Structure 1
Amino acid sequence: MKAASVVFKERDFYNLSRGQSLIAKTREWLDYCLVEEAEVVVFPGLVGCLYDCSARFLDDILKVSLLYKDIYICPGSYFVEQNSCKYHSSCIVKNGSIYLQQKQIYLAKWEKEQGLSRGVEVKSILVNGMKTALMVSTDLFYPQVSRQIALDDVDLVLAPAAIRGGKNVRLQLSGLWQNVQQNLFFGVESGLKGNLFNHDFYSYSAIHGPLEMTARENGLLAFERKTDKNQIITAMLDNEQRKEAVKKFNTLAQLNIDLYKDIFR
């Protein structure tokens, strides 16, 4: 399966925060996906917060997805209200329907200050034969989330990222990249660059795989570069090759599975 991650530039945030249509930009990203024949794509974390209403954001994304019927779209993350609580959430949509919704499980201090509540479970769906889950932003730095995902036999994690602070590659690698190496699933990450809620965010876009699968044995199938002119990066995800890597180094084989029961409660 061919996966894509949106490369969100600082100028994109500048333009979107000053009136450029996010939906027009979304169509631009998805047009690139069509050219590259990508089957699944991830947008940046918090990008839905550039809308004044998350419900309207999702409605518009669903309408756009009808124009790109063969692409599974993770439209970034956003805040959503449910049962008098507010959550940092993401989803996977295709052809006008929501296939999976995921609430962020752990909260950073700035998110608590926004009045957000925690989710309590991880979910997954099949995307073109690959069991797929979502990890939302802060959860990238909580290894128990990725470990639970791995114990559910997930093949692929889609991750809309929004990492607070300035440029810090080492910090970002301690998130999804590290969890991919410890749990041996694929990870597709799209990062936000900009300022929201009086906080600066700087996150790179990357596609991760087990070390044994990458040409330089660095765990990176694709990584955004400053010189990139394209607005997406892509990589082929060979699940059979990944399973062979798991056989060579099965990190889950010796775990005490019972320790992970009700881990998010």
Structure 2
Amino acid sequence: MKNVLEFIFDRNMNAKKINNYLRQVKGIKDKKISSKDKDNVRISCVERQIKVVKSIEEYANLLKGFVEEAAQRESDIVVFPEYNFFDLLGLIPAFSRINDYLNKKAQKGEKLEDGVSGEGLLRFIFQSISKSSQRAIEEIMTGFAKKYGIYIYTGSYIINENGNLYNGGALVSREGKILGRQKKIHLTDFEEKIGLKRENELEIFSLDIGKIACPVCMDATYFETFKIASQKGAEIVILPIANMEEYNFWRALRGIWPRVQESYVYGVKASLNGRIGGIHFTGKAGIFAPIDMTDNKDGIIAISPHYEGDYLVTSDINIAKLYEAREMAEYYGDVNEEFERDYYGKVYSNFKRGDKI
């Protein structure tokens, strides 16, 4: 039996509302698809601020602005951030007032009351809204992809499978078809406390613009994730993030940037920022490459100017040049097999000697 929150979200995010909205989206009539050299790919990644909404149409409009701008720039793909659904919490009755209260207390450095934002409450909310929000986000994004003729990575949301909750997102084709979903492999302490489950497989998607992997945020903290992606043939690794911390340049470098340098792939980071429920999210969106491939020899192709606000970061990458860089790299592909066997055996209890990562 559905609880009250499930009924509210089902009613406010039903298919009829979304279809009516999508019918009014003009899109781009003369869509330029596969018109460029296939080795040259134009990528747009989103940095956006959380904006609590009062309707599914308002939420869809937030996303449409980024998709439309990316399409106007003739991007092949647009990438959204982690927890791309937080704005929809505004559909919960009285949420805006509670949210404002919690954010003000947090900004003043005051401790939140026990139980106000507890793990049990968040688990209940995520469980209640997961099915309707996943359906709504996927319908909106597949509709946009078809209207604008662009690949879309949806950003992450709560995926409900057989009552288990995951943090993951979907990759959508230019024709508006879901090509697959990737769930988060390495969870944060926060996600473990609210009972999210983890994935244990990393999928590679073979598109006409390249081979793509889509791990989620914390997955980039571990070098194994990008190593597996590279060994499976990935050329572009998409990483949606929502960092629950005050911005620090050096701390921000601990994720995608070193993984790109190690694995010789292109890295695409989309970022969510702003305050919700007393939690502050920060982070810059950017596109990264091995140091030797970048003009300033800093590993950065393009990056947003600030860690808060709304930006669309766009740049071209060249897949052929990536393979050239791999050929020229002195240490690319080097393996210390003895160290790796010991390392994986000690860190991962189910790893057996002779297994390949």
TM-score by length of 2: 0.67
Alignment of 1:56-95 (within 5 A): 56-69=136-149, 71-94=150-173, 95=175
The answer (yes or no) to whether the contact 1:151–1:252 under 8 Å persists in 2 is no
Aligned length: 259
Whether the 8 Å CA contact 2:44–2:313 is kept in 1: the answer is yes
> Which 10-residue stretch deviates more, 42-51 or 150-159?
42-51
* Closer, same or farther: CA 232–66 of 1 in aligned 2, 3 Å: same
Q: Which residue of 2 aligns with 1:175?
A: 255
Equivalent residue, structure 1, for 2:266: 186
The structure with the largest alpha-carbon Rg is: 2
Contact 2:286/2:303 (8 A) holds in 1: yes
Farther off after superposition, 227-236 or 21-30: 227-236
Q: Structure 1 stretch 21-30 or stretch 194-203: which is displaced more?
A: 194-203
8 A contact 2:247–2:307 mirrored in 1? no
> Which residue matches 1:109?
189
Comparing 247-256 with 40-49, which one deviates more in the overlay? 247-256
Are 1:120 and 2:160 matched, yes or no? Answer: no
* Stretch deviating more after TM superposition (192-201 or 209-218): 192-201
Residues 1:188 and 1:264: Cα distance change in structure 2 (over 3 Å): farther
Aligned partner of 2:334 among 220, 244, 253: 253
Structure number having the greater helix percentage: 2
- What is the match of residue 3 of structure 1? 43
Identity across aligned pairs (percent)? 22
Match of 2:71 among 31, 34, 39: 34
Deviation at 1:255, TM superposition (A): 4.8
How big is the shift at 1:125? 1.1
Offset of residue 43 of structure 1: 0.8
Residue by residue, what CA displacement relative to the aligned partner does 1:33-84 show, whole Å, maximum 9, x if unpaired? 1221100111111112333422222222222222112x11011111111022
TM superposition shift of 1:243: 1.1
What secondary structure, in the 3-state scheme, does the structure 2 residue paired with 1:17 have?
Answer: coil
Taking structure 1 as the reference length, what is the TM-score of the superposition? Answer: 0.89
Q: For the residues of structure 1 that align with 2:203 and 2:184, how far apart are their CA atoms?
A: 11
Deviates more, 1:194-203 or 1:94-103: 194-203
Q: 2:89 aligned with 1:49, yes or no?
A: no
CA RMSD after TM alignment: 2.5
2:355 is aligned to: none
What stretches of structure 1 of length at least 5 have no aligned partner? none
Q: Which amino acid aligns with 1:140?
A: A
The alpha-carbon deviation at position 169 of structure 1 amounts to: 2.0
CA distance 1:115–1:198, shift in 2 (3 Å)? farther
Distance 2:217 2:164 in 1: 19
- Aligned with residue 281 of structure 2, among 201, 219, 241: 201
Task: List alignment gaps of at least 5 residues for structure 2.
Answer: 1-40, 89-128, 351-357
Matched AA of 2:81 = P
Matched, 1:19 2:54: yes
User: Distance between the aligned counterparts of 1:227 and 1:81, measured in 2?
Assistant: 31
Structure 1 or 2: more strand by fraction: 1
